[in-house]
Structure 1
Amino acid sequence: DLSANHNIEQNVEVIEEAQKPTRLFQLLEEIMQQKECKTIIFTETKRRADDLTRGMRKDGYQALCIHGDKQQSERDWTLSRKFMLR
């Protein structure tokens, strides 16, 4: 039986493209202050997902991405990972 998780909070902000990286990292810093801080970030393209993941890892975040160009085994492995706070 599937059911919705009512503990999920979704926020949408409409901002200029140039403001997105700064705002994203502001949000991530806020999220990291919470006890449980799992986050999903959606991107428009697979390339952007890969680029964003690389940038986040460079900045010390334990980030992984999934998309259609990844093998199913890679996607399953990524979804099974549990990270510790940075």
Structure 2
Amino acid sequence: MKIPAIRKLVKTYSLEELLQAEADILEEKTPSIEVEGDDEGEQLTHLIGSIEILRNIDNGMKESEALRAFTLRVRNSIS
């Protein structure tokens, strides 16, 4: 997981575009947008993170707070 890649997706694409790219990867298709990542798993991680962050922003969080909440959730799930 690379935070700069997630941040780039959040700033560049709409929620709908990110959801379509996620569906494309899950269906083993090439996404119509550029998603950084070493493999499909990492690309999917970046998409899931950016989707969660955009949804939190839509619910009133600032971008920095939404990013922090996502990374904290990931860290807690790993430990």
Q: TM-score, normalised by structure 1?
A: 0.31
The higher radius of gyration belongs to: 1
Q: With CA pairs under 8 Å and 6+ residues apart, which has the higher RCO, 1 or 2? A: 2
Q: TM-score, normalised by structure 2?
A: 0.32
